[in-house]
Every structure is written in structure tokens, then in C-alpha cells.
Amino acid sequence: MQRSPVDSREISSVGYDPDTALLEVEFRQGSVYVIQDVPKRVYENLVTARSPGTYYHRHIRCADFPRRRI
């Protein structure tokens, strides 16, 4: 999956596959997470958020989306 950079102090890039509802989030410290079952709207809100890092922690990390570190 191709990721695109975001304007964030915490997140380096994000990618999304609407066919599988998979979200990839790459953090500046180097870790990458694949998050499953993410609605397209959540991805859109993440990339347009004033603070993508804050949005991630409030709406994705704290949600029940299955995730794994790759």
C-alpha cells in the first residue's frame, strides 16, 4: 500500500485501501501499524485533521479497530 505524507509532528505518512478498509499509519519514530475495518470517512478525517496525531489517538487508537504492528 502506498502511503502519503501528512503534516504532523507524530505521524509521518498514512495509506488507505478502500477495498479492504485497511489503514496504514507510519509514525515518525519508525513504527508502522496496519489497522483493519476503518471506514473511509475515518481515514478522510485523519488526513484532513488539524492535528492528525491527536485525531489518531482519539478516534482510531482508542477505538476497537483490530491492529498490528508491522
| pLDDT of the residue at 56 | 97
| pLDDT of the residue at 57 | 94
- Distance, in Å, from the CA atom of 26 to the CA atom of 6, rounded to the nearest integer, reads 10
- Distance, in Å, from the CA atom of 8 to the CA atom of 19, rounded to the nearest integer, reads 26
Tens place of pLDDT per residue across the chain (70 aa): 899 999 999 999 999 999 999 999 999 999 999 999 999 999 999 999 999 999 999 999 999 899 999 9
